[in-house]
């Protein structure tokens, strides 16, 4: 076990400001001194050691730091690139395209999980947008399929110039879509028996954007998932402490311990200082990544969102991501409650 650094008994240094954050407006302007909600939450996320980046006034993308860097990152790539028999190869994909496929797959996994959850007769819905074109998926409940719709010129006149007769023939004949009729878009069902089928749906959307809508860049892609609860990861039971361990790194020496052991070593007050990042960069504190966890990728687009919608979208992030200090505080309270019940 790593020894405690000599300066642990001193007054902790004040927390450093989160990178890439904007300053409040100057006094005299409307809303002066009142930081936007998404900026405040973005700062909180940026200071979380599990994440690499939090950026942009419109939205942010967060990657699970430990998970993303470990070999588990290859698991999702394997799922996405595992082709069906007879499915043409994707070729060598640029990093931006790989990221888009990952994000699209995650959106589909989320609405499928929502469909299978305790939400009878509810439908998960995600929209993938690239430029003027979009492809949307619905996961109805009860059902064992998703409905994929590719936008047509009937719904967006600007698409009509892109959808030549040859491309329409490919959508219907090669990709299995039904021409607009009951739906204003091209539509087809995709049977979902496993995550492999969701990966196929993501690849199908990618091919349609590339080959039908003539998309050349996925840099400006947007992802929308509804309902907001669909993007939430399963939250730990608030009545019982988590069974996962925490990684405490002191002077570059990491130790993996249960929270009870960390409390016994350092006490409640010092443990909370670690969780709040007040000993950074000498001490870092984070939740251990599950052994077979997937890369955590979340994209939230604040475009055209009201303040209440921003709050709803941000609250769907897991507790240990959106507010790590609050998560640790709740875990300590759960431990204390468990101990008191044993007496």
Q: Nearest Cα to 109, choosing from 174, 194, 188?
A: 194
Residues 215, 104 within the same domain: yes
Residues 205, 333 within the same domain: no
Q: State percent of the chain over pLDDT 70.
A: 63
Question: Which residues are CB-contacts of 268 (< 8 A; sequence separation ≥ 6)?
Answer: 332
Question: Which residues are CB-contacts of 44 (< 8 A; sequence separation ≥ 6)?
Answer: 18, 322, 323
Three-state SS at 246? strand
**Residue 20, domain member (yes or no):** no
Residues 330, 277 within the same domain: yes
Residues 107, 65 within the same domain: no
Query: Can you tell me the distance from the alpha carbon of 270 to that of 7, in angstroms, rounded to the nearest whole number?
Result: 12
The model's pLDDT over 266-292, given as tens digits with 9 standing for 90+, comes to 999 999 999 888 898 888 888 886 544
The domain of 172 spans: 77-231
Q: Are residues 103 and 223 in contact, defined by beta-carbon separation less than 8 angstroms? A: yes
Query: Can you tell me the distance from the alpha carbon of 129 to that of 132, in angstroms, rounded to the nearest whole number?
Result: 7
Q: What is the pLDDT of residue 67?
A: 34
Residues 181, 268 within the same domain: no
Residues 218, 110 within the same domain: yes
**Residue 138, domain member (yes or no):** yes
Reading the block at residue 106, the tokens are: 């995650």
Q: Supply the DSSP symbol for 154.
A: T
Q: What is the pLDDT of residue 167?
A: 97
Q: How many domains does the chain have?
A: 2
Query: Can you tell me the distance from the alpha carbon of 209 to that of 219, in angstroms, rounded to the nearest whole number?
Result: 13
Residues 200, 98 within the same domain: yes
Q: In whole numbers, what is the pLDDT of the chain averaged over residues?
A: 75
Does 316 score more than 70 pLDDT? no
Hey, which residues does 253 pair with through a beta bridge? 250
The model's pLDDT over 91-115, given as tens digits with 9 standing for 90+, comes to 888 888 988 999 999 999 989 888 8
Q: Nearest Cα to 289, choosing from 76, 64, 3?
A: 64
């Amino acid at each position: 076990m790593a020894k405690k650094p000599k300066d642990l008994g001193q007054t902790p240094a004040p927390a450093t400001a989160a990178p890439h954050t904007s300053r409040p407006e100057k006094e005299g302007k409307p809303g002066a001194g009142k930081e936007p909600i998404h900026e405040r939450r973005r700062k909180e996320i940026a200071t979380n050691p599990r994440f690499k980046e939090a950026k942009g006034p419109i939205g942010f993308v967060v990657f699970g730091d430990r998970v993303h860097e470990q070999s588990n990152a290859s698991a999702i790539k394997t799922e996405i690139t595992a082709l069906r028999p007879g499915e043409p190869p994707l070729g060598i994909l640029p990093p931006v395209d790989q990221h888009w496929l990952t994000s699209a797959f995650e959106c589909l996994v989320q609405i499928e999980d929502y469909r299978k959850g305790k939400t009878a007769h509810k439908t998960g819905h995600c929209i993938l947008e690239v430029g003027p074109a979009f492809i949307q998926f619905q996961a109805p409940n009860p059902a064992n399929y998703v409905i994929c719709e590719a936008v047509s010129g009937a719904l967006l006149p600007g698409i009509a110039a892109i959808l030549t007769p040859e491309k329409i023939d490919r959508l219907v004949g090669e990709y299995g879509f039904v021409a607009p009729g009951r739906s204003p878009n091209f539509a087809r069902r995709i049977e979902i028996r496993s995550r492999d089928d969701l990966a196929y749906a993501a690849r199908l959307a990618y091919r349609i954007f590339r080959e039908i809508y003539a998309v050349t860049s996925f840099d400006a892609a947007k992802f929308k998932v509804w309902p907001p609860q669909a993007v939430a990861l399963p939250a730990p039971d608030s009545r019982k402490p988590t069974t996962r361990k925490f990684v405490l790194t002191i002077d570059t020496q990491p130790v993996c311990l249960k929270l009870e052991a960390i409390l016994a070593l350092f006490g409640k007050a010092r443990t909370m200082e670690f969780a709040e990042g007040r000993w950074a960069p000498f001490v870092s504190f984070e939740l251990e990544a599950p052994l077979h966890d997937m890369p955590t990728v979340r994209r939230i687009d604040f475009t055209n969102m009201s303040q209440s919608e921003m709050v709803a979208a941000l609250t769907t992030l897991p507790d240990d991501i959106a507010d790590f200090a609050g998560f640790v505080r709740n875990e300590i309270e759960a431990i204390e409650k468990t101990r008191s019940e044993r007496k």
